[in-house]
Amino acid sequence: MINSLAEQAICVKCGMCCDGTIFATAKLNKGEKENLPPEIAQNYQNIDGHESFRLPCPAFKGKCTIYNKQKADICGRFRCDVLKDFSDHRISLDQAFGYVGKAMSLKSNIKTLLLDIEGIDKNTPFSGINQSIDHLRSQLDDKKRFNQNHRELLVKIHSLQTLISTKFRRKANFRSRVIKFFRIPLSEKKLFIEALLILYTSKLILSFVSLKFCSRLITKTKYPDKKWADESLIPVKTAISQANRLTFRKSSTLDQSFAAKWMLQRRKISSTLTMGVKVGTNKNLSNYSWLKVGEFEIVDKKEDCTEIYTL
């Protein structure tokens, strides 16, 4: 909850949590859908049971245009680290305005540079600009097309991302992660520990042993065809994805798919692990794997992947 006039003044100058700069979506509570204002309802989405609305929020026009009306619960609750640091007296009001001012100036520089380079509409929301940034990054390897303007732009983007990740949305530190872990229900703790152990083991096995041998560890037994409700599969999907954030180096999609298949096998749920390739912009091939139970993706398939092998 934004709890002082000073905090409101900071937010009025900023808006980065509404305009798609910091987040691509905003989380909704269960059952909140029915009471959303039309501005938010038009961006409502439900992905695998996780309800949210897409950002930029249609109600954001330089500032929130429905500030005094009913909004989503998250709109009133969310406070970034700049607001928290200010209210806890870790930073002064001037410093808070300083961070917001710096972010706004970087955003404006990025927009101007992108207009020159990419020719994007100056009213494009920042989340739309992010797509242009991705396109720009894909040109990094194309040395002939990459010039001084591109370089300057990437430096500005990097500065904005660093500012956001250090001042506005710091990642949870180890201590707060441990506290959070102890707060979750016992069943989720067990599932998370299982996912972590299986993912570590899968990474080790797949690093040192051939895939052919690994596939022998996965039984070919087909368990009775059953329509699994998404609610039975989401916890496994979530546990693998959370465990993936804690592995010593980022797991490949094959490690994750293999580990998830292993977990499902322990629950007598048949799944299909698919390996595929994707052709990059420079015609280079990247390997990806994904895992499905029926149509439900436990490890998501990357777009435009061509299937080469299933297990």
Provide the binding-site residues for ligand SF4, judged by CB under 6 A. Answer: 10-11, 14-18, 22, 26, 40, 57, 59-60, 64, 66, 71-72, 75, 78-80, 82-83, 100, 168
Nearer of residues 82 and 113 to ligand SF4, judged by Cβ: 82
Nearer of residues 20 and 276 to ligand SF4, judged by Cβ: 20
| Shortest Å distance, C-beta 181 to ligand SF4 | 26
Q: Tokens 């749920």, residue?
A: 269
End-to-end Cα distance, the chain: 49
| Shortest Å distance, C-beta 225 to ligand SF4 | 43
Amino acid at the residue 196? L
Beta bridge partners of 93: none
Nearer of residues 28 and 275 to ligand SF4, judged by Cβ: 28
Helix, strand, coil: what percent of the chain each, to 5?
A: 50, 15, 35
Q: Which of helix, strand or coil describes residue 91?
A: coil
Amino acid at the residue 172? A
1's CB contacts (< 8 A; 6+ apart) are 76, 77, 79
Q: Which of helix, strand or coil describes residue 196?
A: helix
| Shortest Å distance, C-beta 13 to ligand SF4 | 8
Nearer of residues 82 and 275 to ligand SF4, judged by Cβ: 82
| Shortest Å distance, C-beta 173 to ligand SF4 | 19
Beta bridge partners of 287: 277
Nearer of residues 18 and 236 to ligand SF4, judged by Cβ: 18
Are the beta carbons of 292 and 272 closer than 8 angstroms?
A: yes
| Shortest Å distance, C-beta 137 to ligand SF4 | 24
The tokens describing 16, both together, are 């980065």
Are the beta carbons of 247 and 202 closer than 8 angstroms?
A: no
Are the beta carbons of 270 and 222 closer than 8 angstroms?
A: yes
The tokens describing 168, both together, are 């506005």
| Shortest Å distance, C-beta 69 to ligand SF4 | 8
Nearer of residues 79 and 278 to ligand SF4, judged by Cβ: 79
Nearer of residues 63 and 301 to ligand SF4, judged by Cβ: 63
224's CB contacts (< 8 A; 6+ apart) are none
Are the beta carbons of 179 and 228 closer than 8 angstroms?
A: no
| Shortest Å distance, C-beta 39 to ligand SF4 | 6
